[in-house]
Amino acid sequence: MPISLSQKEKIWDDVLKYIKERLEDRHVFDQFFSTTKIHKIEGNKILVLTDSKLAYSLLNSNSTYKNLVDDAVYFVTETNFEVEFIQPDDIQSSIQTFSDQPKHTFFQHCSLNPKYTFDNFVVGSSNREAVQASVLITANPGESFNPLFIYSKSGLGKTHLLHSIGNYIKEKRPFFKVLYITTDAFIDEFVKYVRGNQDESLKDFLKTVDVLLIDDIQFLSEKTKTAELFFNVFNFLVSNGKQIVLTSDRHPNDLKGLEDRLVSRFNMGLSVNIQNPDIDTCISILKTKIEANGLNINNFDYDGIVYLAENFSKNVRELEGALNRLLFYTINVKHMSKIDINTIKESVSGISSKKKKGNTLTEQDIISAVCEYYHLTEEQVSSKVRTSQIALARQICMYLCRTMLNTPFIPLGKLLGGRDHSTVMSSVEKVELMLKTDLSLNNAIDDIKKLLNS
C-alpha cells in the first residue's frame, strides 16, 4: 500500500522532533531542518525537499548532520532508508509546494491543515451523511448543493471535514483556489480592512476563490457589517458556480442574530448534522489514532478501550485527549507496552473525575467551558494574543469567575496569563456594559452556563 501524504508527514515530523532534541545548535535546526519536507519515498530511498541551495548542500555534505538524520530515520521507521536531500529545482512538483504559500495580503494565518483528511476520518452512522455530502462536493465543486452546511455540537469533526474537503479538492485540482477561514479570522480581517490600510479590496479578493470553506459561522451573529459583506460575496460565488461550505454549532434556523435573508441562503443548499458517535465508531476512532501513533491496538486491553469509548463518546476531541493522556502515561511514565484496564482507568481518572456531577465549580471549570464554547485552547486564553475572539473569551472568563465565584482580582489575573488587577477589573466592567446591549453576548454567556451545568 502506498504511504499516504499524512503518514509521510507524520514520519518526517517525528524525525524532525528526534533531530531537534539532539542538535546542539538551535539555529541550525530552525534555519535548515525545520523547513524540510518529505517529497517522496521510493523503495528504500527517502527524498527530502530543502528550501534553499544552501540547505541542500549543507545537509548533503555535513557528515554529522547526515549521521544524525540516518539515526533519526532509523529510530522512527526501524528501517534503513537512504535519505537524499533535494532542492526545489530538482523536481517539477516542488514548485507548487513552495509557491503554494498565500501571496495575497488577506488571511495570512489561515491555511489548510494537511493532517485532516478523509483518509483519517472514521465514518459511522453519526457522521455518514456529512461525509457523503462532503465527498460529493469534492467530486463536483459548485455543482451539487450550495452551500453545504455542516452542523453539530463541538468536537464532532466539523473542522476536520472542512479541511478534508479542501485538501482533497487541492489534490485533485491543484489550480483551484481553495480558501479555508474561520469566521473569527473573517471578522478580524474585515475590521482591519475597514480601518483601511490595505490597497486590495477584501470583497474582490474573496470573489476570486473557487472554494470557500468557512468554519463556525455562528460567530457571525450580530456582526452586521461583516455579515453584509459576506452576503454579497456569498451571492456572487454561488451564482458563479463556486462552492461554499459552512460549519456551525447549530442548524441555520437556530442561528440567532443573523438576518433572515442570510439564513434563507444557508437553507438553499444542503444542511447535514453530525451526531455523537456510537460506541463502535468511538472504538474505531481509538484504533485509528492508536495506529497513527505507530502502536498496536492488540496491546491494549479491549475492555479498557471500551471503557474509554463509553466515557468519552460525547466529544471526539475529549476522546482524543483521553487517549493522548493514556499514551503519555503508559509510554513516558510507566514505560509499559501491554496496557491493562486498570492502567487505562488510572490514566484518565483526572479527566473523568473533573466531569463528575456535584463537584463544586472552580475557575478551571469556567475557563474550560469558555474554551470549549469558543473552540480555543487554554493556552490561547492565557496568552498575550489579542485577536478579538481570544480577548473576548478571556474577558468572559474573568466576568464569569467574578460573578459566579467571586474570585479576587489578583489571583484571577494570575490565572489568566499574569494580568494585573486593573486589567481584570476593566475587563469585567467591559463585559457588564456589553451585556446591556449585545444580544449575541447574552446568548453566549447563557450557552456557556449551560455547558457548566451539563
Taken as a whole, the chain contains a residue count of: 454
Question: Which of ligand ADP, Mg ion, none has residue 160 at its interface (CB below 5 to 8 Å by kind)?
Answer: ligand ADP
**Looking at beta carbons only, is 85 or 180 nearer to Mg ion?**
180
By the 8 A CB rule, do 41 and 82 touch?
no
Question: Which of Mg ion, ligand ADP, none has residue 316 at its interface (CB below 5 to 8 Å by kind)?
Answer: ligand ADP
All three cell numbers of 19, joined, read 533531530
**Looking at beta carbons only, is 158 or 223 nearer to Mg ion?**
158
C-beta contacts of 271-274 below 8 A and 24+ residues apart:
271/149, 271/150, 271/151, 272/129, 272/130, 272/133, 272/148, 272/149, 272/150, 272/151, 273/129, 273/130, 273/150, 273/151, 273/152, 274/126, 274/127, 274/130, 274/150, 274/151, 274/152, 274/156, 274/157, 274/158
CA distance 222 to 422: 29
**Looking at beta carbons only, is 277 or 413 nearer to ligand ADP?**
277
Question: Which of ligand ADP, Mg ion, none has residue 122 at its interface (CB below 5 to 8 Å by kind)?
Answer: ligand ADP
Nearest distance from residue 402's CB to ligand ADP, in Å?
Answer: 28
Residue ranges binding ligand ADP (CB under 6 A):
116, 121-122, 127, 152, 154-160, 285, 316-317, 320, 375
Residues 6+ apart with CB under 8 A from 21: none
**Looking at beta carbons only, is 375 or 394 nearer to ligand ADP?**
375
All three cell numbers of 236, joined, read 456572487
Nearest distance from residue 29's CB to Mg ion, in Å?
Answer: 32
**Looking at beta carbons only, is 363 or 372 nearer to ligand ADP?**
372
Site string for Mg ion, 151-170 (x = CB under 5 A): -------xx-----------
Nearest distance from residue 244's CB to ligand ADP, in Å?
Answer: 17
Question: Which of Mg ion, ligand ADP, none has residue 395 at its interface (CB below 5 to 8 Å by kind)?
Answer: none
Count Cβ atoms within 10 A of the Cβ of residue 174 and give its class: 0-12 exposed, 13-18 middle, 19 or more buried. Answer: exposed
Applying the rule CB under 5 A, the residues between 18 and 57 that interact with Mg ion are none
Angle subtended by helix axes 439-453 and 388-400, to nearest 10: 60
Nearest distance from residue 370's CB to Mg ion, in Å?
Answer: 15
**Looking at beta carbons only, is 6 or 105 nearer to ligand ADP?**
6
Chain positions contacting Mg ion, by CB under 5 A: 158-159
